[in-house]
């Protein structure tokens, strides 16, 4: 699946954050072994780190190249992922010495985005269905939209990025961690055109020119696109799910625990 302009799409996985909400967590949350699953090539069961889940979603969406944004404390990702051969996606790395938020981390890839459709997954999240990026890419390619968001149910939308979607699938509003909202969803993955990449680059540059200030939230860039009349659409996954591994309680929801009622100490998924 190529973009309308003919250029291959590029994926980006921003993994340069400090995981402050998980302190004193001592290794990259992107390497949390979220499930034990058969290896795609060998069939052997092995732990699947969260970031490999994101790469698998990219592979299923026919994204063949991904940029992984790392910082000094995330170099272990390079050792684990290597060139991405095991995941079936070619991987390159971008380094950010100082974390300045999600929007800045993604904009680091701007020199590589030119003329390309960009596919975003956050490698410290787990979303279902795994085919979500593929579905969002298909909508972006078919509609020619500047931005398409994959939208999932959320029990705590005030911690995330809820999206108001019109009856025709157009995005009316993108919120960023609102104090209160009537919405019960969040965007979790995104696909966009070069026009949105340029808007992101413009907004990041304007913040740098203004000097020190609050980090630029990606949701605010998405809302700016709505405000400027960009074509912004959503693909909703009402039966899907989205888990942010940046919160300790979310990590706990994915772990296995011993069930004392089960013979032989079998494990079951935490409710």
**How confident is the model at residue 73, as a pLDDT?**
80
Question: What is the rounded CA–CA span in Å between residue 145 and residue 225?
Answer: 11
Q: Which tokens go with 188?
A: 């979790």
How far apart CA 114 and CA 152 sit, in angstroms, is 29
Position 24 scores a pLDDT of 57
End-to-end CA, the chain? 38
Could you tell me whether strands 45-49 and 33-38 are parallel, antiparallel, or unpaired per DSSP bridges?
antiparallel
Q: To which residue do tokens 């979790």 refer?
A: 188
At 64-121, the pLDDT tens digits run: 999 999 988 888 888 888 898 888 899 999 998 877 889 999 999 999 998 999 999 9
Distance (Å, whole) CA 143 – CA 123:
27
Instruction: Please report the pLDDT score of residue 266 as a whole number.
Output: 39
Give residue 258's pLDDT: 40
Confidence of residue 255 (pLDDT cuts 50, 70, 90): low
**Quick one: pLDDT at residue 248?**
56
pLDDT band at 271 (very low <50, low <70, confident <90, very high): very low
Task: Report all structural domains of the chain as residue ranges with CATH numbers, in order of start.
Answer: 10-252 (3.90.550.10)
Q: Residue ranges of the alpha helices (H) in the chain? A: 50-60, 76-81, 102-107, 110-113, 132-143, 194-209, 218-227, 248-254
Residue 82, C-beta contacts closer than 8 angstroms, at least 6 positions apart: 91
pLDDT digits (tens, 9 = 90+) for 178-203: 999 999 999 999 999 999 999 999 99
Phi and psi dihedrals of 257, rounded to 5?
-125, 155
């Amino acid at each position: 699946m190529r973009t309308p302009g003919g250029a291959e799409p590029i994926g980006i996985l921003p993994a340069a954050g400090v995981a402050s909400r998980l302190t004193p967590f001592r290794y990259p949350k992107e390497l949390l072994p979220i499930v034990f699953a058969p290896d795609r090539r060998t069939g052997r069961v092995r732990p699947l780190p969260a970031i490999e889940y994101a790469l698998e979603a990219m592979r299923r969406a026919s994204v063949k190249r991904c940029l992984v944004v790392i910082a000094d404390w995330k170099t272990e990702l390079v050792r684990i992922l290597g060139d991405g051969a095991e995941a079936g996606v070619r991987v390159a790395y971008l380094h950010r010495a100082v974390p300045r938020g999600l929007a800045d981390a993604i904009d680091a890839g701007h020199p590589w985005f030119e003329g390309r459709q960009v596919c975003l997954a956050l490698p410290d999240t787990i979303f279902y269905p795994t085919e979500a990026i593929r579905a969002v890419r298909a909508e972006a390619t078919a509609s020619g939209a500047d931005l398409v968001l994959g939208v999932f149910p959320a029990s705590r939308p005030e911690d995330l990025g809820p999206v108001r979607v019109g009856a025709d699938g157009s995005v009316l509003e993108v919120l960023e961690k609102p104090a209160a909202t009537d919405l019960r969803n969040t965007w979790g993955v995104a696909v966009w055109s070069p026009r949105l990449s340029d808007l992101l680059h413009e907004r990041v540059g304007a913040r740098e020119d203004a000097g020190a200030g609050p980090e630029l939230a990606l949701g605010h860039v998405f809302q700016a696109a709505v405000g400027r009349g960009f074509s912004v659409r959503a693909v909703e996954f009402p039966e899907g799910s989205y888990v942010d591994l940046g919160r300790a309680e979310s990590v706990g929801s994915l772990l296995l625990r011993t069930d004392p009622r089960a013979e032989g100490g079998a494990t079951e998924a935490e409710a």
